[in-house]
Amino acid sequence: MSRTADRNLAAELEAPEAGRNGTPVDARCCSCKRVRAKFASKIRGSPGSFQHVCHVCCRVTWWNILDELEDVIDDETLAKLGEVGQ
């Protein structure tokens, strides 16, 4: 059973807090260790870290990428999110 089997990753990516720019990834907040699907931009290193707002920490924190989620979210949903973000 995969780590993400009981989560709705597409729904997490569609939430406003996931952001709208960059690559869909599963990531862990370096501060509170919360795991959440987000869009990562300006990724540093490999597998990579990026800065994003954490709604648990209530500030911008560093997130470590756990997985790429490009296969989880379909192109149609991505396109829809792109329209919302513009």
Number of helices (H) and strands (E) in the chain: give both, helices first: 2, 4
Sole window of 12-20, 22-30, 63-71, 78-86 interacting with Zn ion (rule: CB under 5 A): 22-30
Q: Return the residue of 11, 15, 32, 60 that touches Zn ion, per CB under 5 A.
A: 32
Nearer to Zn ion by C-beta: 40 or 54?
54
Q: Return the residue of 29, 40, 69, 81 that touches Zn ion, per CB under 5 A.
A: 29
Q: Provide, rounded to whole angstroms, the least separation between the CB of residue 48 and Zn ion.
A: 17
Distance CA 42, CA 58 (A): 21
**C-alpha 66, offset from chain centre:** 10
* Burial (CB count <10 Å: 0-12, 13-18, 19+), residue 84: exposed
Q: Does 60 bind Zn ion (CB under 5 A)?
A: no
Nearer to Zn ion by C-beta: 43 or 78?
43
Q: Read off φ and ψ for residue 6, nearest 5 degrees.
A: -95, 10
Where along the sequence are the contacts to Zn ion (CB under 5 A)? Answer: 29, 31-32, 54, 56-57
